[in-house]
Amino acid sequence: MPNDAIVNSWLKLVDFIFDSKRDGYNAKETIAVHCKAGLGRAPVLVALALMELGMEPINAIGLIRFKRRGAINGQQLQELVRYQKRDSDAKGQSKPKRRFSGRPILFGRRRNSVKDNLVELSTM
């Protein structure tokens, strides 16, 4: 799983891109995400974003696996199912309710084209 710093940075980006109160916001905003094989890290971050935007974990995982077969391994799946959306603190800053376990996870090394590694995240 990505560490807390990566997850927090990612979710700040998602908050910024999909903040409908932001000047210049467009309802069709998109974030393109990829990693080396497109099966582990990128899909996990996309799943977290979808869950933060209101999708149930099982639906987020199902959508990602439909778009990218082989994405999200068993250990990542367990972590995502246990993940809880962020709370807001008194200053309105969002923060994770629960951290990831931090256990190391092995990722596949299969090489694909950039197109194959791309997962689009858009509002649903």
Active site residues: 35
Q: How far is CA 124 from CA 6, 14, 74, in A?
A: 24, 14, 26
For the chain, strand residue ranges (E) read 30-33, 87-88, 94-95, 119-122
CB atoms within 10 A of CB 100: 20
Structure tokens at 103: 């256990």
